Structure 1
């Protein structure tokens, strides 16, 4: 039995540093993958998607914790991931933070389905129709706007009340929205 306090924690300082570096690396790669595959990759998951995520969690855990996971390594890994989340949250509030989050994508403007935006967002027409049905839409004439949000969720806004322009602040292609669906510039 050693008198070294690191020995009783089950991790050496070098191993602890490796856990931190691994957690930061995995976080960065995950962030880049989500950005490159689009926010839709985190939305509605099939059973297979959920199984794959569970498997990926095991792989990520092993990468972060190393060959011999210990309680100390687990705590250091979790603290590092939560610190990265807090740092990202802080950076999103800064002027440059706008680059960290995806912009909402306009999928429908009135009755018009924007096929190019659907393709870019990796959404099939059938998925769009499913979201419309979920929102209680019976026909296309009821639709004001459909947006893919930065979270991967799909928002369906109904016709009837014009949409305030401030709500569409970061929406890509908002110039494609018919004027009659928007509150006039003067707010009246």
Structure 2
């Protein structure tokens, strides 16, 4: 490889740079829309198969973003674009007005000992995933559960019976109105 070929591999034309920015932005926004529509569980608790899918997805997205002949400059432009988009999404997430667009709302999956089956199906959480998280929290029976919430991050939070739950703890949780009154504090 001569010096001229090396310089050509590092450079990028203005049109190609715009193409990288546009394709990066479209793919980023598409990914956000798809993960929001599939629910927050898609981003948590990867199985072995999920890890393979993520690797393949990364390879496909990388190739689609960088184009036919990837260069160092195209890679740098893609990274800067992704970080700028992530920064913009972070900024939006910190604003109450835009937070709903950027993040999924937390969802109540168990209200007391009642499993909310419709919410499990809608959020793509299986009963075995729910039971696994209950066991990890040291729950021995449904009677010990005050609430289970699917958080925006995809994790499951388990609240035990005992002390009443402050209503503020369930603020913004979809389905919180289904909580048995005896489990809530004032």
Question: What's the offset of the Cα at 1:93?
Answer: 2.2
User: How high is the TM-score relative to the length of structure 2?
Assistant: 0.92
Question: What's the offset of the Cα at 1:7?
Answer: 4.7
Aligned residue in 2 for 1:134: 136
Task: Flag as ranges the 4+ runs of structure 1 deviating above 3 A.
Answer: 6-9
Q: In 1, distance between residues paired with 2:37 and 2:127?
A: 21
Question: What's the offset of the Cα at 1:8?
Answer: 7.3
Aligned residue in 1 for 2:11: 10
Q: In 1, distance between residues paired with 2:8 and 2:74?
A: 12
Q: In 2, distance between residues paired with 1:130 and 1:56?
A: 28
Q: In 2, distance between residues paired with 1:120 and 1:8?
A: 47
Aligned to 1:152, the other structure's residue is in SS state coil
User: How high is the TM-score relative to the length of structure 1?
Assistant: 0.91
Pairwise CA RMSD: 1.8
Q: Equivalent residues in 2 for 1:119-130 (5 A)?
A: 119-130=121-132
Number of paired residues?
A: 182
Aligned to 1:58, the other structure's residue is in SS state helix
Aligned residue in 1 for 2:43: 42
Q: Equivalent residues in 2 for 1:1-188 (5 A)?
A: 7=8, 9-94=10-95, 95-184=97-186
Q: In 2, distance between residues paired with 1:54 and 1:138?
A: 37
C-alpha deviations, 1:122-145, integer Å up to 9, x for none? 112111111111111111111111
Q: In 2, distance between residues paired with 1:113 and 1:31?
A: 29
Aligned to 1:147, the other structure's residue is in SS state strand
Q: In 2, distance between residues paired with 1:51 and 1:27?
A: 20
Q: In 2, distance between residues paired with 1:2 and 1:135?
A: 61
